[in-house]
Amino acid sequence: MPVRGATSKSIARAWLPDAAIRALDIDAALADISRAWSRKWFARHVVRPLETQAVGAVPLSDEIEWLQLDRDVAIGVPSTANAILAGLMLDLEVPREPLTSADNRLLAGITQACIDDLCRRMAETFRLDAGARWIKGDRGAVAAVEAPMSCALGVEAHLPLVRILVANDALVGLAKAALPPFVPASHLSSLAQGLAAQCVAVTAQIGRCKLTLAEFAELGIGDVLVFDHSIDSPLDLLVNGRGAPIAQCAIGETDGRVDLTLLDTIGG
């Protein structure tokens, strides 16, 4: 095991909603770890991740020895795992029981570097200090990991090699690592530049008249409406047909089209 001192500042502690934690593809991350790990150490079998579970649903045997990194990740190695791992590494059928204490020491020595490598890969995946010291707990004692999720790696679905506990904070670190890189926003244009491209409708108001509903209903072809505006007087210009006039203009005609000549500055 690495012997450098453990650190408590390996990841930033941050709050994340439970739904965001559940949305993380933890199984995919574990699959990557198990593939790379098994290709390095094992002759033929590919160790695959079993289903990720809530920690309360995982049987925690008294025969599991826990290796823990701070309060973020713990790896549990059952008493039967060394024989299985050694068999995978040597491509041999290693008898699992009965084993003498000398046998167990030999198998533990064979598999030690393999387990150390798994610890390093777990630390790197969950953005922890890969060089920090993993603490070995007493056999049968449950690892003290904060608000953990649990999963297992095994050769078969019913035969776990190791148990893994991952704290909520470590999952937050994994979520942050999956986020796209931050791209600073460009500077906003001024309000005047933003409004400059907006389209508006400009209308000229030639006058108004008032009618009762009865008079309005009796209008027919040839009737004349008398407006309150002289044809020779300037017309009011309106934006979108409403609000106060923005300017005044004179009405004229060129080639059969109505022309409006501005008499003052817009908004003046």
Q: List the CATH number of the domain containing 162.
A: 3.40.1550
Same domain for 40 and 136, yes or no, is yes
Give the total number of structural domains in the chain.
2
Same domain for 166 and 223, yes or no, is no
Phi/psi of residue 233, nearest 5 degrees: -85, 155
Q: Is 189 contained in some domain?
A: no
For residue 56, what is the DSSP state? Answer: G
Same domain for 34 and 81, yes or no, is yes
Three-state DSSP state, 160: strand
Residue from 187, 164, 200, 194 nearest 77 by CA: 164
Q: Is 38 contained in some domain?
A: yes
Distance of CA 155 to the CA centre of its chain: 31
Per-residue pLDDT of the chain (268 residues), as tens digits, is 332 333 333 333 445 566 666 556 677 777 888 888 988 998 777 777 766 665 544 455 557 888 888 888 888 888 788 888 888 888 887 776 677 888 888 888 889 999 999 999 988 888 888 778 888 887 766 677 766 677 778 776 556 788 888 887 777 777 776 667 777 777 777 888 878 888 888 888 888 889 999 989 999 999 998 888 887 888 888 888 888 888 888 888 888 888 888 888 886 5
At 190, list the tokens.
């001024």
Pairing verdict, β 159-166 and 73-78: antiparallel
At 38, list the tokens.
């098994």
Same domain for 102 and 235, yes or no, is no
Same domain for 163 and 231, yes or no, is no
Same domain for 130 and 63, yes or no, is yes
Give the domain CATH number at 211. 2.30.330.10
**Model confidence, pTM:** 0.57
Whether 161 contacts 49, CB under 8 Å: no
Can you give the residue range of the structural domain that contains 104?
18-178
